[in-house]
Structure 1
Amino acid sequence: MSAFFFALTEQTMQNDQGLAAVLRQHEGRVLQDWTGALQEVRRHGSPGGVDRDTHAQARGFLAAFAEAIRCSSDEDLAGAEWDDVRATLAELSRDRAMAGFSPSETATFVFSLKKPLFAALREALADDPKRLSDELWTVSIMLDKLGLFCIEAYTKGREEVIERQHQELLDLSTPVVELWEGILALPLIGTLDSERTQIVMESLLNAIVAKEATVAILDITGVPTVDTLVAQHLMKTVAAARLMGAECIISGIRPQIAQTIVHLGVSLDGVITKATLAGALQTALRKTGQSVQRAVPAKVGS
């Protein structure tokens, strides 16, 4: 127990004599020099200095980094003492990923701290070249690893952004429109795969319930090709709509698509198909007992 305590005390003394002591004594100057370096490389900035968010991030990171250095000399940065440092960098990296920064611009937040720290260490340990060399090497390794951590966190954040944008595009590409009372239309554009079919089905079924619709028009004018898989996806959507009490009409059957369906032997039995959305709407109006009549223009002078 005493040997362990002695080793721990020795480590603490070494930390207090090296980088931890430098950060404690010169933290203000290091922060000033660091924010100056960030100003030179920041993506959008003004000559007057870094923005408040960047300055606050730098101050928070430096405080967490100094505390971690004081409590731990683990170069792998794996201990609980480094949790605040990792959390700060993870949040910063995600924010920059969503803001459109590049990976290098994000990692530079950490790498730009090297020069101010090196300068402070050289001044503090000028009389001890060996200790200076050891401290510079340790700091360099730590900041390199933290910079790589930034890139990893940035990548995860960017993947989240891409996934969210992908989901938003899928939602936008499957709008359900109420054409008339009790009549819905779902214009499909692009490839209809399994993932998108699920979204189409959910959107349509929710709209059928919300609008109390009895007829739904699936318009495939914007679908480039219809193969067996696409036809199966359409039939699944039709079957699901029927279970909800709505009949489906498929419109946008172009000559090329009709020929393809015949050649593939795809059966659309029981499903009404129309060449145009206008034709499908006319059929839907008849099925719902509604009609649209052309207004007779009033005679001039009558």
Structure 2
Amino acid sequence: MTVDTDAARRRIIDLFMSQEKPLLERWARLSGMPGDELRDLHQALRDALGSEQRDLTDVRGLLAEVSRARARQGYTPTETARAVFSLKEAVYELIEADGQAEALRGFVWFSRLIDDLGLYTFETYTAAREKIILDQAEQLLELSTPVVKLWEGIVAVPLVGTLDSARTQVVMEKLLETLVDTGSEHAVIDITGVPAVDTQVAQHLLKTVVAARLMGAECVISGIRPQIAHTIVTLGIEFGDIVTKASLADALAYALRRSGVEVANTAGTRIAVRAERV
């Protein structure tokens, strides 16, 4: 028996077009979605099915907006997809009431079309979530690598946690931007909060120092604890002519002296700072 697929599809489309009010009412009860969203989706589907090309671009665009909006409202992608899939049940009820064999045969085609649209909501949700995660990761990187001004002409980068390639790139960019904005000639890279220094971490530090030097800034690495010093020697890591200090205070004092600022302990814990006039 030969099945006229075109006739079957046309009958489905005719039912979809002619039974707008009962279809929307049933779809609303089954899906739980607002009537405005359903009317927009229904109209977009009507336009797509009524055209020769049956282009679903506008339908997908509306579904993407609905999916993102429902995600912000706390709906899961499964709930949104089920709301779309419920249109099949509403259409099937129209087919049963119609009682024509062509409509029943065309339901397979219509069901696949709605399945594709429902799965598209999953894709939209996943893409949106991935973008949010990437944006949050970039924000965390920026927050975890602050560049602070310690003194006129002196900035510091306190590093905490593991230093990898992505974070090194952020450190270099923020450091170079700050050097340009502040006109600083001295930078202190403090690794007190870095748990361990291996060859890879050392290479990242050297890249940062070289980048700062290209901007005309002298770098000091502080936070060289005994354990880190032992590791550096064991691994044979060479910092060359880069100045290293045990603490941030020592590095700041060094940078101040290099800047022409005299630091003197005048009485107990009181520190007098005087800028030498050149």
TM-score (norm 1): 0.78
Q: CA RMSD in A?
A: 2.7
Shift in alpha-carbon separation, 1:208–1:57, aligned structure 2, 3 A = same
Counterpart CA distance in 1 for 2:128 and 2:192 is 36
Q: Are 1:71 and 2:51 matched, yes or no?
A: yes
Q: Is the 8 A contact 1:241 1:247 kept in 2?
A: yes
Question: Which residue of the partner structure matches residue 20 of structure 2?
Answer: 27
- Alignment check: 8 A CA contact 1:98 1:157 kept: no
- Within a 5 Å distance, the mapping from 1:115-126 to structure 2 comes to 115-123=89-97, 125-126=98-99
1:89 aligns with 2:63: yes
Matched, 1:241 2:212: yes
Q: Gaps spanning 5+ residues in structure 2: where?
A: 269-278
How far is 1:206 from its partner?
0.7
How far apart in 1 are the matches of 2:66 and 2:45?
Answer: 14
Pairwise CA distance, 1:243: 1.3
Say if 1:163 and 1:141 are closer, same or farther in 2 by CA, change over 3 A: same
Whichever structure has more strand as a proportion of its residues is 2
Per the alignment, in what secondary structure is the counterpart of residue 56 of structure 2? helix
Instruction: Give the Cα–Cα distance (whole angstroms) in 1 for the partners of residues 30 and 264 of structure 2.
Output: 73
**Partner residue of 1:182?**
153
> Match for residue 29 of structure 2?
36
Q: Is the 8 A contact 1:253 1:274 kept in 2?
A: yes
Retained in 1: the 8 A contact 2:198–2:231?
Answer: yes
CA contact (8 A) 1:250 1:274 kept: yes
- Cα distance in 1 for partners of 2:70, 2:194 equals 37
Code of the residue aligned with 1:259 in structure 2: it is H
CA deviation profile, 1:207-251 (whole Å, cap 9, x unmatched): 000011111111112222211111011011111111111111111
Task: Give the number of aligned pairs.
Answer: 265
Which residue of the partner structure matches residue 154 of structure 1? 125
Quick one: percent identity of the two aligned structures? Answer: 46
C-alpha contact (below 8 Å) 1:97/1:157 kept by paired residues? no
Does structure 1 retain, via aligned residues, the 8 Å contact 2:154–2:187? yes
Q: List aligned pairs for 1:124-143, cutoff 5 A.
A: 125-126=98-99, 128=100, 130-143=101-114
TM-score in terms of structure 2 length: 0.84
- C-alpha distance in structure 2 between counterparts of 1:109 and 1:142, whole Å: 15
